[in-house]
Amino acid sequence: MKRLAWLVLAVVLVASGAAWAQFYEQLDRGERRELAEAYFLVGRQYAAQGEQAKARDFQLMAYHLDPELDPASIRLEAEPSAAELIMAGKAELVAVPRETAGEVGLLLKSRFLRLVSAFLTEDTDTILSILDGSVWFNRFEGELSQEAIRSDLEAFFARVDLGGGLVPSQVYDLSTLEVEPVAGSAWGDTYALRLEARADFSEQAAFWEPSQEYWFHRRGRSWRLFSVGLGSPPAAWAPQAAPVAQAPAAAEPAPGSAPKAIREAFLASLRHFLAKETAQAAEYFTREIRILRLNATLTREEMAATFEGYFEGNDFSGVGEDSVVDTATIAVEPTDRFAGEQGGEIYLLSVKTRVDLSDRIPFWTRFQEYYFSPAEGDWKIFAIF
């Protein structure tokens, strides 16, 4: 019954809005073992009833809680009641939390710096990829569509020469950059990013102010900028949906060669990572990557930045891929998960890791799943669990 109590407590914490990571990290080793065993048994019952996806999710979470979990040592007394509690719909799996405010803050800071860098290099397409379908500007109390913003940007770049090698820290005082959630937002999950400007573009850009504020909200699986300027847009206003980008057609890889090619792509990305070739490692990912455990999306550039950040305190000189993952456990198989959401056939690569890199790489766990789809003429990772 103790294991049942742990499951009930987990549900209470989730229902009250407590962060899952904060909950289980406060447990001692014995308590985490109890909770891990409960999750494993729930997964076993789901498997017995033919619900393999749920079984896998619960048992993967069990190993995340306790990587040394031994299923053979689990005693079964009174445990079906815990499984029945969850399977009856009275409790929910808490293995896939939404991002914490801190995680969202880091993501949005990265996205904003990417926006500023695109502005300074006159990269209109990248700027628009970060915006929602329309953006509210508080300075002149009106909205502009993406088409209007494109026109304004092109006119701005024609008037103002940004080719002098400006960097974001010359335009903004980045020490003032802060992100915080917006309570009671009418636009779903919303965060406000605030900072002070160093440069003065007020004569060329009507929205420019010494103190600036940018609002982002979740649009589907991504975060989009939808408001510029101090304060809130009108509560009754809603931004247009961002247009769906049409990627250029590329020849799909031959399906028959998929398992071998996907294994080689995964190991090549890992080898580039260990060699600190972060941009090359990120090229094995699609332009946007779903981090399923965090219910978040990273761009390819943000993935490279995540990799780069890991090397601030870690060195893998001379380390091979087999020291980081157990290559003997790599399995590649077709999957119907994400059917209809991605073009072409989807494959799942699963692998067991040997080392813990989770202090800087948020999706890193003992057992990993990488989802591959055809993109840009090759097999690339588009989701990670």
Q: What is the pLDDT of residues 273-297, one digit of tens each?
A: 888 888 888 899 998 998 877 777 8
- Pair 71, 112 in one domain: no
Does residue 373 contact residue 281 with C-beta atoms inside 8 Å?
A: no
Looking only at the bridges linking them, the beta strands covering 142-145 and 172-181 are unpaired
- Pair 276, 380 in one domain: yes
Q: Is residue 204 one of the residues assigned to a domain? A: yes
Of the candidate ranges 152-156, 223-227, 361-365, the one whose mean pLDDT is the lowest: 361-365
Does residue 346 contact residue 352 with C-beta atoms inside 8 Å?
A: no
Grouping H, G, I as helix, E, B as strand and the rest as coil, residue 353 is: strand
- Pair 177, 280 in one domain: no
- CA-closest candidate to residue 66, choices 33, 25, 27: 33
Give me the domain span that covers residue 134: 101-228
- Pair 105, 83 in one domain: no
- Pair 301, 345 in one domain: yes
Query: What would the pLDDT profile of 297-340 be if each residue is shown by its tens digit?
Result: 888 888 887 777 666 556 666 667 777 888 888 888 888 888 77
- Pair 212, 263 in one domain: no
Q: Which amino acid is at 279?
A: A
Of the candidate ranges 43-57, 256-270, 282-296, the one whose mean pLDDT is the lowest: 43-57
Tokens of 215: 């609002």
- CA-closest candidate to residue 222, choices 297, 152, 170, 172: 297
Q: Is residue 208 one of the residues assigned to a domain? A: yes
Q: Is residue 355 over pLDDT 80?
A: no
Q: What is the CATH number of the domain that holds 154?
A: 3.10.450.50
Higher pLDDT, 338 or 147: 147
Averaged pLDDT, 126-143: 91
Q: Is residue 66 one of the residues assigned to a domain? A: yes
Name the phi and psi angles at 216, rounded to 5: -115, 145
- CA–CA separation, 289 vs 383, rounded Å? 5
Q: Which amino acid is at 144?
A: L
Q: Is residue 113 one of the residues assigned to a domain? A: yes
pLDDT on residue 221: 63
Sign, CA torsion 138/140/143/145: negative
Q: Is residue 248 one of the residues assigned to a domain? A: no
- Pair 219, 107 in one domain: yes
pLDDT exceeding 90 applies to what percent of the chain?
20
- Pair 216, 105 in one domain: yes
The pTM of this model reads 0.46
Alpha helical stretches, state H, 138-285: 146-159, 168-171, 258-274, 278-282
Averaged pLDDT, 150-176: 81
For tokens 């020849």, name the residue: 251
Q: Cα-Cα-Cα-Cα dihedral of 301, 302, 306, 308, to 10°?
A: 30
Q: Is residue 38 one of the residues assigned to a domain? A: yes
Averaged pLDDT, 142-159: 90
User: Sorting pLDDT into bands at 50, 70 and 90, what band is 205?
Assistant: confident
User: Sorting pLDDT into bands at 50, 70 and 90, what band is 234?
Assistant: very high
Q: Is residue 18 over pLDDT 60?
A: no
Q: Is residue 87 over pLDDT 80?
A: no
Q: What is the CATH number of the domain that holds 326?
A: 3.10.450
Higher pLDDT, 382 or 276: 382
pLDDT on residue 314: 60
How many Cβ atoms from other residues are within 10 Å of residue 91's Cβ? 18
Q: Is residue 329 one of the residues assigned to a domain? A: yes
Looking only at the bridges linking them, the beta strands covering 325-334 and 131-137 are unpaired
How many Cβ atoms from other residues are within 10 Å of residue 2's Cβ? 12
User: Sorting pLDDT into bands at 50, 70 and 90, what band is 53?
Assistant: low
Tabulate helix, strand, coil % of the chain (nearest 5).
Answer: 40, 25, 40
Q: What is the pLDDT of the chain when averaged over all its residues?
A: 76
- CA-closest candidate to residue 119, choices 133, 131, 137, 102: 131
- Pair 82, 105 in one domain: no
- Pair 129, 75 in one domain: no
- Pair 292, 373 in one domain: yes
Strand segments, DSSP code E, in 229-346 are 285-291, 296-299, 325-334
pLDDT on residue 196: 93
Higher pLDDT, 374 or 77: 374
Of the candidate ranges 5-14, 253-262, 372-381, the one whose mean pLDDT is the lowest: 5-14
- Pair 11, 116 in one domain: no
Report the number of distinct structural domains present in the chain: 3
Averaged pLDDT, 187-211: 88
Element (H, E) at 177: strand 172-181
Q: Is residue 280 one of the residues assigned to a domain? A: yes
pLDDT on residue 217: 93
pLDDT on residue 82: 43
Q: Is residue 38 over pLDDT 60?
A: yes
pLDDT on residue 11: 40
